[in-house]
Amino acid sequence: MIINCEKNFDIKRLTSFKIGGLINEVYFPENINEFEQILNENPNIKVFGNLSNTLVSDSGYDGKIVLTTKMNSVQIDDNKIIADCGVKGPKLAQIACENNLSGLEFMIGFPGSIGGEVYMNASANSQAISDKLSFAICYSPIEKKILKLSNEEMNFSYRKSRCQKDNLIVLQAEFILDKKDKTLIKQQMDENLKFRKEHQPSLSLPNCGSIFKNPQGESAGRLLDSIGAKNMSIGGVKIWKNHANFIVNNNSGSSLDVLTLMFEMFTKVKENYNIELEPEIIFLGGKNQRENELCKILYKK
C-alpha cells in the first residue's frame, strides 16, 4: 500500500496561526486502512487534524506526524451521517443542513475537524458532540487495534472523552440526527456564526482559539482581562481586542512571540491570583532552546 508521505514539509500555510517551520516527515492517509498501517508502523507518531489549535515552532519538528486532512469521506443514510476524522466541522454542518438534518448546527463556526471535535467533545450554543454521536471508530496505540465505541463507552463529559484517558485516536464517527426543515437549520447556523463573530476573532486574523483552559469555577478570559492582558503584545502577536484569552498573529509573528506572550499571561495571573493557567493549544517543536524553556513552565514538561 503506497501512502502519501512528504519529507521536509513546510507546515506554515496549513496552520491556523500561519506560523511554523519544516516537519521532517508528514503522512497523509486517505482512509482507515492507511491510517492503521501508519500507526502500526510508527508507534507514538503524533496525529493532527486541521491544526486549528496547534502552534508549530518556526524551527520545525524533527519527527514524523500524521495529518488527517485527506480523510474526508461523508456517508448519509436517512438520518445518520458517518464522517471520517478529517472532515471539517463547518463542512459537515452544511452537509447535514442540505439533507434536512439537525443536531450539528454548532459546528458551523468551528475551524477544527471531526476527529478533534469528538476527542474533546466539542460544544457550543447549547449543543455538543455527545448529544448526537452514535459511535466512534478509534485506534488504540496501546492495544494496536481498532475499537468501535458506543456513545456510552466514550465516557463523555464537558470537553472530555475516553480518548484523553486511554490515548485513543478518532478515525470516524456516526451521528444520528433529527429531521428538520433546512431553512430553520440554516437560521440557527447563521445565529451561531453571528455569536462567534462577536465573541471570537475571525479566522482572517490568524489565531488558534482559546489559549488557556478555564480553571474550575473560573473564567480564563475574566482573569486575563483583569490583569490588563488586552493591552499586551510581543513582536508580531497581540491579545485580541475583544477577548483577553485569544492571541492573534497581527504581523508575521513567530512561535517564540506566541510562547513568550503566553508566559507573560500565565505569570501575571499566577502573581495576582495564585492560579496556574493550563494551555488549551498544543505546541509542536523541540529544536529551539528558549521555546523549550518556556514550554517546561507552561506545559509542565
Residues 15 and 95 occupy one common structural domain = no
Measured CA to CA, the distance from residue 114 to residue 51 in angstroms comes to 12
Measured CA to CA, the distance from residue 219 to residue 31 in angstroms comes to 39
Domain boundary among 137, 165, 199: 199
Domain hosting residue 10, numbered range: 5-67
Residues 20 and 43 occupy one common structural domain = yes
Domain boundary among 67, 82, 110: 67
When divided into structural domains, the chain yields a total of: 3
Residue 139 lies inside a defined structural domain of this protein: yes
Measured CA to CA, the distance from residue 30 to residue 52 in angstroms comes to 20
**Selection from 92, 140, 141 nearest residue 114 by Cα:** 92
Residue of 16, 52, 59, 210 marked active site: 210
Residue of 159, 196, 226, 233 marked active site: 159
What CATH number has the domain bearing residue 253?
3.90.78.10
- Is 280 among the residues known to form the active site? yes
Backbone angles phi, psi at 123, to 5 degrees: -150, 155
Find the length of the chain.
301
Residues 227 and 117 occupy one common structural domain = no
Pairing of strands 123-124, 133-140: unpaired
Residues 81 and 138 occupy one common structural domain = yes
pLDDT tens series, the chain, 301 aa? 789 999 999 999 999 999 999 999 999 999 999 999 999 999 889 999 989 899 999 999 999 999 999 999 999 999 999 999 999 999 999 999 999 999 999 999 888 899 999 999 988 878 899 999 999 999 999 899 999 999 999 999 988 999 999 999 999 999 999 999 999 999 999 999 998 888 888 777 899 999 999 999 999 999 999 999 999 999 999 999 999 999 999 879 999 999 999 999 999 999 999 999 999 999 999 999 999 999 999 999 7
What CATH number has the domain bearing residue 45?
3.30.43.10
Residues 166 and 128 occupy one common structural domain = yes
Residues 155 and 216 occupy one common structural domain = no
| Residue with grid cell 463529559, as numbered in its chain | 157
Residue 284 lies inside a defined structural domain of this protein: no
Residue 35 lies inside a defined structural domain of this protein: yes
Q: What is the per-residue pLDDT for 109?
A: 84
Strand partners of residue 174:
82, 135
Residues 33 and 106 occupy one common structural domain = no
Residues 188 and 212 occupy one common structural domain = no
Residues 213 and 239 occupy one common structural domain = yes
Q: What is the per-residue pLDDT for 126?
A: 82
- Is 210 among the residues known to form the active site? yes
CB 68 within 8 A of CB 113: yes
Kindly compute the dihedral angle of the four CA atoms of residues 34, 107, 239, 230, in this order, to the nearest 10 degrees.
-150
Domain boundary among 139, 171, 199: 199
Residues 49 and 78 occupy one common structural domain = no
